[in-house]
Amino acid sequence: MSQDVQAGPAEAAPVTKANETLEDYTLRFAPRSYRKWSTGVVATSALGGIAYLADFAIGANIGISYGTVNALWGIAVFAVVIFLSGFPLAFYAARYNLDLDLITRGSGFGYYGSVVTNVIFATFTFIFFALEGSIMAQGLELGLGIPLWIGYAASTIVIFPLVVYGMSLLSKLQLWTTPLWLVLMVLPFVYLLVSHPESVSAFFAYQGEEGQGTPSLGSVMLAAGVCLSLIAQIAEQIDYLRFMPPKTPENSRRWWAATVLAGPGWVIFGAAKQVVGLFLAVYLLANVAGASDFANEPVRQFLEIYTNIMPAWLALTLAVILVVISQIKINVTNAYSGSLAWTNSYTRVTKHYPGRLVFLGVNLVIALILMEANMFDFLNTILGFYANCGMAWVVVVASDIAINKYLLGISPKQPEFRRGMLYDVNPVGFGSMLIAAGVSILAFFGALGDTLASYSPLVAIVLAFVLPPVLALATRGKYYLRRTDDGIAAPMHDEHGNPSGETLHCVVCGQDFERPDMTASGTGTGHVCSLCLSTDRSGAHVLPAAPQ
């Protein structure tokens, strides 16, 4: 599958890296033959990917900056936006078995236009890999005396072998580690509620580090902006949800429950962790000397509470175990999803597939550099800036699906991702995202006035929601599909509307793939798979545009 297609249709290209691409279905529709997991296993695996401790740090940081009341309202805004924007994306991923990049291509961005969103997503994965790796390094330093710089390297290197084998290993890892992780995570919070009920009133009364935590819409939006940096997490949930089994009348309720819970429903758990992170930080600030230096560090939060419950040696051991489990659970997902995003972009631009593992290494190196630069010192700024880009992308795609596809009927309901079927760039989504991200970033840095700076997340959300239908109507949907006929007579979907499981033979790589991954070859001799189309430098296999 590493081929650059230049040969004639009868000549099979080499199939090096075949095991890797067929294990992960990198850059591809995830076929029915591979999706053998139950809805429950897929959902549990997806939710295992939100085990990160960064939520505790984010909750603590925004509470310390803006006070409890403003932080709680900011978290509520974050949860509502994430759920509403994530629902249509999760549905499309689970229903049509596509990752978010493939969905983005046909939801207003075009075949090459979605490359920029892949870069946005890849950036998300290495920022949060670095954040989680930093937390693990803090735990290793605290528990084992390992210097931070060595801890950064160790937290990076340990992930590489775990991500090599893709979904089959990741699903087992998430299932096995979840029970212990849940117990260790919930224990400190329950202990404080039972043994120190007065901590609840102190929590709600907390006014922030500067004592200026009176309710303020500007502070709420600034807090929400930091939280909304997590909006691209839906793409990582989708990297699991694309392996959902077909939806049938028999499993419909389980299918919907798993899709909603593991898709947009991740934010319920994320918001809860942010609240708990702030709660623990406020308790430490009120009860532990010198806590202002470490109240926003999840490792120290858990260690201090564990020490009240059990012997110091056991508390330290459990704190380190929690940090290591959490870091591994989320960073295997960050590394996996990031490698897919980089590979996808590179393959489309260069028409060469180097293998996912190359970009797994690239993602890990970038994350390590961020860790060594001590990103905790400027965490709020990084996350606040990134949120504007992430929101612009995700909300634009959600708007195109919900409004342009289902309400206005301008955008085709069936997702399309194959080269030749799409225009290179669709101004509807691509233009909307650039405008929404650009204006909100200007607002974030104060270029549009100090007042609007607080509301940059709202600027991004409103523009990203409104612009897609406006541009779709203005262009009359002209740039969604380059052609509607892929040259294959066999139906695309089964009687329940699921992608067909019928297999066809690719004349380029010699492999068999299911119907949704294939088009007729532009040479007129057989069928060609989507990856071979992506790497076709000559363009011989790409179908011509339909007459206007």
- Consecutive 10-residue averages of pLDDT for the chain (548 residues): 36 38 66 85 78 84 91 94 94 93 93 88 81 80 83 81 61 67 80 86 86 82 86 86 92 94 92 92 86 82 86 86 78 78 82 75 80 67 78 94 95 92 95 95 87 84 96 95 93 92 91 92 91 88 83
CA angle in degrees (0–180, nearest 5) for 134-139-144:
125
- pLDDT value, residue 165: 59
- pLDDT value, residue 393: 92
Q: Which two tokens stand for residue 356?
A: 């996912």
User: Kind and range of the H or E element at 29?
Assistant: none
How many other C-beta atoms are found inside a 10 Å radius of the C-beta of residue 162? 15
Q: Which two tokens stand for residue 446?
A: 């104060």
Contact of 51 with 329, CB cutoff 8 Å: yes
pTM of the model: 0.83
Length of the chain: 548
- pLDDT value, residue 240: 86
- pLDDT value, residue 26: 65
- pLDDT value, residue 10: 32
- pLDDT value, residue 7: 35
Contact of 90 with 260, CB cutoff 8 Å: yes
Distance of CA 481 to the CA centre of its chain: 26
- pLDDT value, residue 143: 78
Q: Which two tokens stand for residue 480?
A: 């969604």
Contact of 396 with 110, CB cutoff 8 Å: no
DSSP 3-state of 530: helix
